[in-house]
A and B are shown apart, each in its own frame.
Chain A
Amino acid sequence: MRDVIVTRDLTKRYGNFTAVDNLNLTVRQGEVFGLLGPNGAGKTTTILMILGLTEPTSGQIEVLGYDPTRQPLTVKSRVGYLPDQVGFYDELTALENLHYIARLNGLNGKNADTRLQAALEKVGLQAVAHKRVGTFSRGMRQRLGVAEVLLKQPEIIIMDEPTQGLDPEGAREFLQLVQSLKEEGITILLSSHLLHQVQAICDRVGLFNRGRMELVGTVDELARKVLGRAYRVIVEVDEITPELTETLKAVPGAVDVHPLEGNRLAVEAAGEIRHEVAQAIVQSGRRLLGLYMEAQNLDEIYAHYFKEVEHGAR
C-alpha cells in the first residue's frame, strides 16, 4: 500500500502558541483515517497545512508525492476538502454553485455537465438541483459539499468534522456515503469528536492532544495500549462466588475481573478468550447462563486516555 499523505516533523506556531508540534502522520492509500482530539488540539491546522492553505513553520509534507507549499495547485486538484462549516452562495441554485466550482477546476462543457449530474446523483440531490441553496437543510448542504468534492474526482478527500450538527439519521446516512466513497478506492482523512460514529468507519485513528499525535492505530490496538485490554467478555452465572472470580482471573489472557449489576461479571482480556472463560466457569461448577463479548468503545479509550494525560500534566 502506498502512503498518500506523509508529514515529517510538521510544526506550526502562531507566536508563542504551538498549534501543531512535530507531527509525523502517515495515511495509506484507500484507508479511512480518523483524527481525533478535543477542540484546539491542532486537527484543523494540520488539515489546512496538508492542503497548502496554511504555511507550516517547519517540517515537510508530501501529498501523493507532491509538496503542498510548492505545488498547491496539483495537490488541490487531486485532494477534495470538506470544511467544518460548509457554506454556499445561498442566492444561487445547487447546480449553479457546483458549476462555479467546476469552472474553477477547469471543467467546461459536456464533461462538466456529466460530472455535475453524476456527483448530484451520488449524494441524492438531483431532485433539488434547481432549488436555491438558501432553502437547504444542514444535511443537504453537507451532501452538496460532498458532491462538490466529487466533481474533481479526487484521490483523497479530507473532511473536517463532517458529522457535526447533523441529526442522528443524517449522520448515519452521511457515514454510509463515506463508506461508499471508500469502496470506490478514495482515501479519506476525517477529523471528528463524535467517536462512536468514527469508530464504525475508520480503519485507523490518531489521537491528537495539544498539537501532538500521541497514539495511532486501529481501535483494537489503541484499546490494548490505553486500557491494557482489547476485549471484554461479559458472563452471566447463577451465583457469583469469590472462588469463581479467582478462577476467572487465573484464565490465561485475562487482565481483570469485576462484577456488574445482576449476576454478571466482566472479564477484561488482551485476547479472544471466550472459549477459555466458558470452560473455566463450567469446570468451577457454576451454571453459565449467558456469555457475550463487548466491542471496544472508542469513547472509553478516549476518555481514559485524556484522563491519564491530564493526570500526567499535573
Chain B
Amino acid sequence: MALAERVQSRREGSPWTGLWAVVAKEMADHLTSARMRILEFLILLTAGGTVYVAMQQIRSAGISEQFVYLRLFTLAQDPLPALVGFLVFLVPLIAIALGFDAVNGEFNRKTLSRILSQPIYRDALLMGKFLAGLFTLALVFTAIWLLIFGMGMIGLGVAPGSEDVGRLLWFLLATVFYGGIWLALAQMFSVVFRQPATAALASIAVWLFFTVFWEILAGLLAQALHPIQFGLAQEILGQAQLQMTLERFSPNTLYAESMVALLNPTVRSLGLVLPSQLQGAILGTPLPLSQSLLLIWPHLTGLIAVTILIFALSYVLFQRQEIRA
C-alpha cells in the first residue's frame, strides 16, 4: 500500500540537490583522514618496491621489447610479487576502508537526522558518499599510475608507447570499478549494521570468502554438478567450463582475468582453447588493444554491473530505514 501511495504522489524537486556539496565534503574528509594516509603509505610502499624490482630486472635482462611499461606492473622477483598481485588485495582493502562507516558513522555521530532535515533527499547523501569514495579511489590510483610512469621514464629512459598508455588507462578503469564493488558492498553493510566494526568485518568476510574459499568451492561444485563418469573428453571439458563460469562470479576472478588480458597482449583467450581453435594463429604475437578489450569486455561490464547492483540494493535499504534511534 505504501508503495502504491508513493507512485501516486511523486516527490517534487531533484534527487540530486546537494549532491556535489556531499561529494566535496566527503572527499575532503577522505583525503585528510588518518586512515587514508596509512593506506596511501602502504600502497606507495608496494608500488615503489615492486616497480623498482621490476626495473632492475628489465635492465639486467636487457629486455628491449615492446610493452616495457606493462612489465613494470607485472614483473615479479622472489620473494616480492608483482604490483598487480598486490593490487588484487590492496584495492578491496582501501575500498572497504572508505565505505564501512559511511552511513552508520553519521548515525552514531547523531548527524544523520540533522543532515537529512536539510533540503536534500536521501539519494543525494548516499550517492554523494559513494561518488566521493569512487573519486577518491580514482584519484589515488591515478596518482600511483603517474608515479610509476615517472619512475619508468627516469629509470628506463624510454618513453611509453601509445599502446602502453592505452592498456594502462583501461587497467586503471578496471581497477577503479573493482574498488567500486567493494566500496558499494562496504557502504551497504554500513546501512545494514549500526556498528562500523560489524560492517567492516562483514565486508572483509565477503572479501575473504571470494579470495580464499570461492575457488575451492567452485571446484567442488563443478565436480558435484558435472561429475566425470566415463572419463570422456567432453565430460572433462564440461566440468572445466562449469568451474570457470562459477569462478567468474567472484569479482576477484573478473579483475584478475581483465588484468591478464590487458597487461599481457599475447593472451588471446581467457577460456579453454582447443588445439583446433588455434589453427593458423601465430603464437606469441601481441594482440592490438582493441582485440584485448573485446576479450575482457564482458568482465568490465560485469564489474560495473555488480557495482551498480550492490549500490542499488543499499539505496533501497537506506530509503526504507527509520532515521531515529
Cα A67 to Cα B324 with chains together (Å): 21
B111 contacts A105, C-beta separation under 8 Å:
no
Do the beta carbons of A106 and B117 come within 8 Å of each other?
no
Q: Is A69 an interface residue (CB 8 A)?
A: yes
The residues of A that contact B66 with a CB separation of less than 8 Å are none
Count, chain B residues at interface, CB 8 A:
27
B-side contacts of A300, CB under 8 Å = none
**Nearest B-chain residue to A145, judged by Cβ:** B114
- Residue from the list B21, B111, B119, B322 in contact with A76, Cβ < 8 A: B119
Residue pair B11, A70 in contact (C-beta under 8 Å): yes
* Segment 156-187 of B: residues with Cβ below 8 Å from A: none
Q: Mark B8-21, 1 if CB is under 8 A from A, else 0.
A: 01111100011001
Residue A103 lies at the interface, judged by CB distance under 8 Å to chain B: yes
Take A72-B11, A74-B13 as given contacts and tell me if A104 and B114 are in contact as well, using a CB distance cutoff of 8 Å. Answer: no
Residues of A within 8 A of B110 (CB): 83, 85-87
In the complex, B116 has a CB within 8 A of chain A? yes
How many inter-chain residue pairs (CB < 8 Å) link A and B?
Answer: 86
A–B complex contacts, Cβ < 8 Å, 15 sampled: A44-B324, A45-B324, A53-B116, A53-B323, A54-B322, A71-B11, A71-B12, A73-B12, A74-B12, A76-B117, A77-B119, A86-B110, A87-B109, A88-B109, A148-B114
Question: Which of B1-53 touch A at CB < 8 Å?
Answer: 2, 9-13, 17-18, 21-22, 24-25
| A181 at the B interface (CB under 8 A) | no
Q: Residues of A contacting B323 with CB < 8 Å?
A: 48, 53-54
Which residues of B have CB within 8 Å of A104? 18, 21-22, 115, 118-120
B97-125 residues at the A interface, CB under 8 angstroms: 109-111, 113-121
Pair B13/A71 contact, Cβ less than 8 Å:
yes
Q: For residue B11, which residue of chain A has the nearest CB?
A: A70
Which of chain A's residues have a CB closer than 8 A to the CB of B117?
A: 51, 53, 76, 80-81, 83
| A 33-74 to B, binary, CB cutoff 8 A, 1 in contact else 0 | 000000000001100100101110000000000010111111
B113 to chain A, nearest CB (A): 5
| B1 to chain A: closest residue by CB | A57
Which A residues touch B121, using CB under 8 A? 72-73
Our pick among A45, A70, A81, A85 for the contact of B12 (Cβ within 8 Å) is A70
Which residues from B are CB-within-8-Å of A89?
Answer: 109, 111
A292 at the interface (CB under 8 A from B): no
Q: Which residue on chain A has the smallest CB distance to residue B124?
A: A104
A25 interface residue (CB < 8 Å to B):
no
Q: Of A45, A81, A90, which contacts B109 at CB under 8 A?
A: A90
Determine the distance from Cα of A45 to Cα of B10 in the docked complex, in whole angstroms: 23
Min distance, Cβ A222 to any Cβ of chain B, angstroms = 28
Contacts of B24 in A (CB 8 A): 103
CB-contacts of A82-125 with B (<8 A): 83, 85-90, 100-101, 103-106
Question: Which chain B residues lie closer than 8 Å to A100 at the CB level?
Answer: 21, 25
Query: A103 with B21: in contact, given A48-B324, A72-B121, A73-B120 (CB under 8 Å)?
Result: yes
**Residues of A contacting B322 in the complex (Cβ-Cβ under 8 angstroms):** 54
In angstroms, Cα B9 to Cα A5, docked, is: 20
Complex Cα spacing A73 to B119, Å: 5
In the complex, chain A residues whose CB is within 8 Å of the CB of B324: 44-45, 48, 54
**How far in angstroms is the closest Cβ of chain B from A110?**
17
Interchain CB contact (< 8 A) of A105 among B10, B13, B113, B119: B119
> What's the nearest-Cβ distance from chain A to residue B104, in Å?
13
Chain B positions within 8 Å of A80 at CB level = 117
